[in-house]
Structure 1
Amino acid sequence: MSQRELTILGTSGQVPTRYRNHNGYLLKWDKQGFLFDPGEGIQRQMIYSNVSTSMITKIFITHFHGDHCLGLAGLSQRISLDKVAHPIEIYYPASGQEFYERLRKSTIFHDVAHIIDCPISQEGVIFEDEEFVITAKFLSHSVETFGYRIQEKDRRTMLVDKLAQFNIQGPKVGELQRKGYLDIDGERILVENVSIPRKGQSMAFVMDTRVCNAAEELAQDVDLLICEATYLSQHATEAKERGHLTAKEAATIAKNAGVRKVVLSHFSQRYPHTDLILQEAKSIFDNVHVAKDCEKIAMPKRKK
């Protein structure tokens, strides 16, 4: 049974608060575990949220400001300590290679993990297999920053009654899916005859950026957008100067891009509560969720 669920490991901006840890977001997607921006303190947040290192298959770092990457130092060592058996790919801006290396080898430890370094130097597809296409785009921050999009490929759902009608079973089903057709008793059966389309799901991660075309392009028609909302509109000038979004701007990106659900995070410590952030965002876009540390959010159900 598939499980697609986002675990919020931290929601603070540059400075953590009594109730908000630095960044961290784990998207559990069936057998995959996509971890975004592991900030300081992430190991304890994982314990509180019942997240283990063995769940992680890929790590994505948007940029090398501390609140988005300092947790990688401890996490790298924990992955080895836990003897995670599978390889873990780490995607990050190639321009921050020296910072990446410092974080990966910050102290003495027995490094037995299978970590695959995946530096990114340009926009475009950074990973593709038969199931996913993952892309990265430059955002508009004070340092080089990438946003990410995970797109599941479209597939087809096989119809049991139709397969039975043509007596297609066992290995023949897989062959039909691979080839797109089967020849049975002189009749060609197309995969379209025994299945219906199943649209792939998608998510985007947009963190630490001003309003820019890339943010909207990454978010175009996604089922789930995880987006920063560091400031309220009353601090819009400061947001732009520092390379961040207001709640209103984040909601506008979601609306313009046709997003199904947006989860807002990365809140400035000046806001002890998020009620006004939610209120401001909802004035623009209805399906808004303001993230809280250690909560779990289900991926929206697949479009029919």
Structure 2
Amino acid sequence: MEIEFLGTGAGSPGKFRNVSSTALRLLDERNSVWLFDVGEATQHQILRTTLKPRKIDKIFITHLHGDHIFGLPGLLSSRSFQGGNSALTIYGPKGIRDFVEVSMRVSETKLSYKIHYQEIAADGLVFEDDKFQVYAQHLDHKIECFGYRVVEKDHPGELQVDKLREAKIPSGPVYGKLKLGETVTLPDGRTINGQDFLGPAQPGRIVALLGDTRQTKNAERLAKDADVLVHESTFAKGESKLARSYYHSTNIQAAELAKRMHVKMLLLNHISARYTGKMAQDLQHQAREIFHNTRVVKDFDEVDVPFQKLTTKGDEQ
């Protein structure tokens, strides 16, 4: 699982930052890519990466401001010409379907694949399969806006081969069944429970990606215990009143949220064009005074989301 930033700017494209779009690469987990927001020229940004549009099967839109959706019609159209024949699902506020369908109809664009729409009416679970759950929560912005919490389900524990050998259980297809936790009967008549030969389950990872927002309790629900929190940082230290009046957040507010909710890594994006070079680094330094594991991301930054190290009682001593 990796996060790749295709656009980290706020409002309008700048020389050094494009507008909002973030890719969650799930190639190892489910051979797909999920996009969160599709600002203007997102498909141009993708051309500078190894991402394949045909791998994009889900798009999550936080809100309908132009810097978060104006790249959507072009990306959807180009996907048809780049081998994207499989269905795609778009999640977002009411109105996202109209935006896409009107764009396609007026431009007489024909897609080679089906689009499914899930316009979100209430907070809660919006997607689940055997590997992931995705939750949406309303945020506090000028228009309806959501944040998303991606929860990976726990991975089964590893098969303890040494323990199997000690029990004189011969290798072969039976190992595959035991790895699944099944109970098997051996040729010698012994009944073996696979659960007895599995190590502890590996907890899944949690990634929270917020749209534009003032500080709100729902942001806390999204961020709680997240391995990675992607949070806007439109304003800097000392600008909380200005941030509130424009329905945004400061870097300090994001850092305080990360600390309060026991986040492991904070990634700041949606950076105003006012902050370039050293000023952008100042945003990072200010936030790190509150939450050390903070990073102001740039376009094309890639961040791995690691598994947390499993600890034993001996490790904790």
Which residue of the partner structure matches residue 131 of structure 1? 131
Q: Give the corresponding residue for 1:158.
A: 159
Distance 1:204 1:63, change over 3 A: same
Distance 2:154 2:171 in 1: 22
| Deviation per residue, 1:81-120 (Å, 9 max, x gap) | 1131332221111254433433454522231123222221
Whether the 8 Å contact between 1:125 and 1:135 is mirrored in structure 2 is: yes
Secondary structure, aligned partner of 1:118: strand
Question: Could you tell me which of 8, 17, 26 is aligned with 1:20?
Answer: 17
After TM superposition, the structure 1 stretch with the greater mean CA deviation from structure 2, 149-158 or 240-249, is 149-158
Q: What is the CA–CA distance in structure 1 between the aligned matches of 2:163 and 2:116, rounded to whole Å?
A: 43
Tell me, in whole angstroms, the C-alpha distance in 2 between the residues paired with 1:36 and 1:7. Answer: 11
Aligned residue for 1:284?
A: 290
- What is the one-letter code of the residue matched to 1:162? K
Name the SS of the counterpart of 1:85 in structure 2: coil
Q: 2:184 — aligned with what?
A: 182
Which position in structure 2 is the counterpart of 1:220? 224
- The alpha-carbon distance between structure 1 residues 105 and 22, as it changes in their structure 2 partners (threshold 3 A), is farther
1:84 alignment counterpart: 84
Of 227, 247, 250, 1:246 maps to: 250
Tell whether the 8 Å contact from 1:59 to 1:89 is kept in structure 2 after alignment. Answer: yes
Q: Aligned equivalents of 2:247 and 2:84: distance in 1?
A: 36
2:239 is paired with a residue whose SS is: helix
Q: How many percent of aligned residue pairs carry the same amino acid?
A: 32
Which residue of structure 2 lines up, in the alignment, with residue 167 of structure 1?
170
Amino acid at match of 2:12: V
Question: How much does 1:180 deviate?
Answer: 4.6
Equivalent residue letter for 1:15: S
Deviation at 1:173, TM superposition (A): 4.5
The 8 Å contact of residues 54 and 84 in structure 1, kept in 2 or not, is answered as yes
Query: Runs of 4+ in structure 1 displaced over 6 angstroms?
Result: none
- Counterpart AA for 1:53: P
Q: What code does the residue aligned with 1:295 have?
A: D
Q: What is the rounded CA distance, in whole Å, between the counterparts of 2:8 and 2:303 in structure 1?
A: 14
Deviates more, 1:48-57 or 1:139-148: 48-57
The within-5 A match list for 1:1-304 is 4-29=1-26, 30=28, 31-105=31-105, 107-156=107-156, 157-164=158-165, 165=167, 166-167=169-170, 169-170=172-173, 172-176=174-178, 180-184=182-186, 185-273=189-277, 274-304=280-310
Q: Secondary structure at the match of 1:94?
A: coil
Q: Please, which moves more after superposition, 144-153 or 181-190?
A: 181-190
Note the C-alpha offset of 1:182.
3.4
In structure 1, C-alpha distance between the alignment counterparts of 2:264 and 2:172, rounded to whole Å: 37
- State the alpha-carbon separation in 2 of the partners of residues 188 and 129 from structure 1: 30
Q: How far apart are 1:189 and its partner, in Å?
A: 1.4
Measured in 2, the distance between the counterparts of 1:94 and 1:192 equals 49
Q: Distance in 2 between matches of 1:256 and 1:192?
A: 38
> For the residues of structure 1 that align with 2:71 and 2:83, how far apart are their CA atoms?
18
Please, which moves more after superposition, 182-191 or 71-80? Answer: 182-191
Q: Which stretch of the first structure deviates more once superposed, 68-77 or 48-57?
A: 48-57
Unaligned runs of 5+ in 1: none
The Cα shift of 1:131 comes to 0.8
Superposed CA deviations along residues 179-214 of structure 1, whole A, max 9, x for unmatched, are 653344243414143332111111010120111111
Say if 1:202 and 1:104 are closer, same or farther in 2 by CA, change over 3 A: farther
Q: Is the 1:72–1:103 Cα contact (8 Å) retained in structure 2?
A: no
Amino acid aligned to 2:20: N
| Total equivalences in the alignment | 300
Contact 2:204–2:307 (8 Å) recurs in 1: no
Normalised to the residue count of structure 2, the TM-score between the two structures is: 0.88
Residues in 2 aligned to 1:178 and 1:103: alpha-carbon distance in whole angstroms = 47
Query: What is the alpha-carbon distance in structure 1 between the residues aligned to residue 287 and residue 103 of structure 2?
Result: 35
